[in-house]
Amino acid sequence: MGKYIYLFKLHFIQTLKNKNSLLGLTIFLITCLIIFSNLWKIAAERMHAIDLNPDTLLWYIALNEWVLISLPDVQDDIEEDLKTGNLSYLLPRPISYLLSKFCESLGALSANLLVLGTVGFAFTAYMTGHIPNGFLSVIPLGLMSGILCLIFHLLIGVSVFWMEEVGPFYWLFEKLLFIFGGLMLPLAVYPKWIQTLAFLTPFPSILGQRSALAIEFELDSALQLIASFSFWAIIGITALFVLYRKGLKMLTINGG
Amino acid sequence: MKFILFFFTLLKMSIKASIVKKSAFIIELLLMLSSNLTFIILWWILFKKFQTIGSWTLTDMLVLNAVGMGAYGLSQILFGGLKNLSKLILTANLDSFLTTPKNILFHIAGSKSFSKGFGNLMTTISLIILGDLYTKIPLILLSMITGCLVFVSGSIIAQSLAFWLGKIDSVAKKYSDSLYLFALYPTNIYSGVLQIVMFSLIPAGIIGYIPVELIKKFTFEMLFALLASSTALFSLACFIFHQGLKKYESGSTFTHKS
């Protein structure tokens, strides 16, 4: 276990030390906040779809973007490891490849969440002049949704055993996350059947539902969200290990 | 002439390499197509509900998506090598490109091709058929080329920052992805400062707004705006890259080109 904690620590520190990248991500986060808040304001005005005030809206978007922008591209690392043949050097190590990738990306995610959260929330608090009631409770849920996204990213990364590249799966996942997560436009804009469909996927709990909790916190909803995270995490991890093992078998037979 | 011949030969090889796994190629194609169509179906539902969004109709939205997705697909097929530009800079792997007497930027760009770009091109074709946009094909094609230049320019600028700022590949990737995302929104909904941002910092407006307006009502002024802005941005990107190249330090390593 110690080696995995060490990997986590190493990548946490490495990410914190990369000040230029953190600065770039912070500027990107604030740009996205401004763009999406305007976009949603228009959606509210012209489509009469949501009745949130602009301040609440900015907090909702900040909490969504905070996790999305913090996510490292672990799927690209896996793709590169397989394509360059680096995987053949990493596999014989006395450490699980998949777990090491998870710990590395969790370290990077945690550092990004820490820095982007500090700056992004300070900016949002300054712009709106208030902090929502359920704010503190949403921080651990943010980390949980980040972890769930990492599991799905790893799953996308493992698809490289069969595919030439991970991009198409990643684009599909990202688009569904934007649509069903309620980032692209508020879920309330869509017809009822799309809203029902969305709640059958993990996407609303990763983004919209979680951020909405900060605005109006209810213990029941928070517990429901944790149950949803756990359910999707179990499904994701199971699929991940099954596919990884199948992929490794294929690699052993066909060569790296 | 020799340079063009070299670029197309390089591209031919890269494209062949990208589609060598036939089954993976077909799956990628279908995945990209379905991912794009999901997005379009959503806009179709919204337009059915609201008829217009900021004076844009569903046809305008189909044109925007045909142009935006086609342009992105072209950039992935023709200039795929640029995706790893910042990594090449950081790992000092530009050496192998610098030692050849060819245009370095085009050499890097043509060294890789992404087959998923064909999925985007297929989406464009599907949209032309679905939206009955046959009469608009010449302008859609032209807008795809200029849009491709804008995507490529955005990517070159973002990735070239690695010359000055070091390891910023994740920021560059997020910026390039967001440019594609914002280009597919109806740009006319942005106003004030945001509109300026959409034509400068995130030039999504050049990819989407100008072509849609041009196709809606052709004017030479709009055509000039489209050609001039995309060419100017591409020139700026090349300038920034070459300025950055002056700061590049060789890694003194022996590497092979991938």
pLDDT of the residue at A11: 95
Q: Which residue in B114, B165, B190 is closest to A165 by CB distance?
A: B114
Is there a domain that residue B113 lies in?
Answer: yes
Q: Measured between beta carbons, which residues in chain B are less than 8 angstroms from residue A168?
A: 27-28, 31-32, 35, 116, 119
pLDDT of the residue at A171: 85
Number of domains into which chain B is organized: 1
Interface test with A, best of B39, B40, B42 (most A CBs within 10 A): B42
And the tokens for B20? Answer: 């060598």
Q: Per the CB < 8 Å rule, is A164 touching B171?
A: no
Interface test with A, best of B35, B61, B167, B191 (most A CBs within 10 A): B35
Percent of chain A predicted with pLDDT > 90 = 43
Q: Measured between beta carbons, which residues in chain A are less than 8 angstroms from residue B189?
A: 39, 42, 46
Question: B216: closest CA among B47, B50, B61, B51?
Answer: B61
Confidence band of A74 (pLDDT split at 50, 70, 90): very high
Low-confidence ranges of chain B (pLDDT < 70): 251-258
Q: Measured between beta carbons, which residues in chain A are less than 8 angstroms from residue B258?
A: 84
Could you tell me which chain A residue has the CA closest to the CA of B25?
A164
Q: Annotate chain A with three-state secondary structure.
A: CHHHHHHHHHHHHHHHHCHHHHHHHHHHHHHHHHHHHHHHHHHHHHHCCCCCCHHHHHHHHHHHHHHHHHCCCHHHHHHHHHHHCCHHHHCCCCCCHHHHHHHHHHHHHHHHHHHHHHHHHHHHHHHHCCCCCCHHHHHHHHHHHHHHHHHHHHHHHHHHHCCCCCHHHHHHHHHHHHHHCCCCCCHHHCCHHHHHHHCCCCHHHHCHHHHHHHHCCCHHHHHHHHHHHHHHHHHHHHHHHHHHHHHHHHHHHHCC
Is pLDDT of A27 > 60?
yes
Q: Which residues 179-238 on chain A approach chain B with CB closer than 8 angstroms?
A: 179, 184-185, 189-191, 194
Is pLDDT of A112 > 90?
yes
pLDDT of the residue at B196: 84
Is there a domain that residue B254 lies in?
Answer: no
Is there a domain that residue B170 lies in?
Answer: yes
Interface test with A, best of B15, B16, B20, B31 (most A CBs within 10 A): B31
Is there a domain that residue B209 lies in?
Answer: yes
Q: How far apart are CA A152 and CA B168, in angstroms?
A: 23
Question: A155: closest CA among A79, A249, A252, A96?
Answer: A79
Is there a domain that residue B258 lies in?
Answer: no
Q: Which amino acid is at B219?
A: T
pLDDT of the residue at A70: 94
pLDDT of the residue at B251: 64
Q: Per the CB < 8 Å rule, is A168 touching B201?
A: no
pLDDT of the residue at A54: 75
pLDDT of the residue at B190: 73
Contacts of A59 (CB under 8 A, 6+ apart): A124, A128, A132, A135, A211, A214, A215
Is some CB atom of chain B closer than 8 A to the CB atom of A16?
no
Is there a domain that residue B212 lies in?
Answer: yes
Is some CB atom of chain B closer than 8 A to the CB atom of A136?
no
pLDDT of the residue at B62: 93
Is there a domain that residue B255 lies in?
Answer: no
pLDDT (mean) for A121-127: 91
Q: Which residues pair with B53 in a beta bridge?
A: B56
Closest CA–CA distance from residue A23 to any residue of chain B (Å): 9
pLDDT of the residue at B253: 57
Quote the domain boundaries for residue B80: 2-249
Using alpha carbons, list the distances in angstroms from residue B173 to A78, A174, B62, B183, B195.
Answer: 16, 14, 26, 16, 23
Q: Measured between beta carbons, which residues in chain A are less than 8 angstroms from residue B40?
A: none
Is pLDDT of A20 > 60?
yes
Q: Which residue in B42, B50, B175 is closest to A179 by CB distance?
A: B42
Q: Per the CB < 8 Å rule, is A190 touching B42?
A: yes
Query: What is the tens place of the pLDDT at every residue in A126-177?
Result: 988 888 887 887 788 999 999 999 999 999 999 988 887 888 889 889 888 9
Q: Per the CB < 8 Å rule, is A164 touching B175?
A: no
Q: What is the mean pLDDT of chain A?
A: 87
Is there a domain that residue B147 lies in?
Answer: yes
Closest CA–CA distance from residue A83 to any residue of chain B (Å): 10
Q: Per the CB < 8 Å rule, is B194 touching A28?
A: no
Percent of chain A predicted with pLDDT > 70 = 94
Closest CA–CA distance from residue A219 to any residue of chain B (Å): 33
Q: Which residue in B35, B173, B175 is closest to A175 by CB distance?
A: B35
Confidence band of A43 (pLDDT split at 50, 70, 90): low
Which comes out higher in pLDDT, residue A183 or A78?
Answer: A78
Interface test with A, best of B29, B116, B187 (most A CBs within 10 A): B116
Q: Which residue in A42, A164, A174 is closest to B189 by CB distance?
A: A42
Is pLDDT of A194 > 90?
no
